[in-house]
Chain A
Amino acid sequence: KQEVTQIPAALSVPEGENLVLNCSFTDSAIYNLQWFRQDPGKGLTSLLLIQSSQREQTSGRLNASLDKSSGRSTLYIAASQPGDSATYLCAVPPGTGANNLFFGTGTRLTVIP
């Protein structure tokens, strides 16, 4: 069964700092990986989707990378802002050909003004 791990569980950084969030998964036979953010009491907002054929995806100050062979993905946030404070989750399918996603338990990010 696919297992997804996100370390650390919580992270605090001063405003303006660049930071990296980590996601690891056990079954590397995935066809994509998705990053989300979740604000307290709200649903999840999709940030980036990386297909297995890609190594990186960028959206504004966010850059996500994918290394299937090592079972890892990173989410890089440049020049962090207080509005980036949220929980960030990654999700992968359970191997190939499945519709479901397995989620990590997330990294709670606090950006201190």
Chain B
Amino acid sequence: DVKVTQSSRYLVKRTGEKVFLECVQDMDHENMFWYRQDPGLGLRLIYFSYDVKMKEKGDIPEGYSVSREKKERFSLILESASTNQTSMYLCASRRVGSPLHFGNGTRLTVT
């Protein structure tokens, strides 16, 4: 079974803090993704990576950056957290053409 692990289920941070969300997959997948999910807006892509050190912006990259130094790990960074970044963050991975697999999500609250 594919396993996508997100380091935290719940996270509370203060405005202006730098926040790191970590995601690890165990299936040697080339593609990894970060989405955020908000009520009424659905899932929106923040960034994705198609290989180590390679990344592409999604629909809403502003205020975020990513890092993929190793194939199994994809990190999302909130450079200076703001209250409008309070959301559920979902990491996913897949081999090209195969099903997308998600982690359990990180619910981030920025106060």
Contacts and interface: CB of A to CB of B under 8 A. Distances in A.
A42 interface: yes
A34 B90 CA distance: 17
Interface string A82-111: 000000010100000001110111100000
Q: Which size bracket describes the interface of A in this complex?
A: 20 to 34
Interface in A9-35: 31-32, 34
B105 A41 contact: yes
A42 B104 contact: yes
A46 B4 CA distance: 12
Given A34-B99, A44-B90, A46-B100, A100 B48 contact: yes
A31 B41 CA distance: 25
A101 B59 CA distance: 11
Interface of A: 31-32, 34, 36, 41-46, 49, 51, 89, 91, 99-101, 103-106
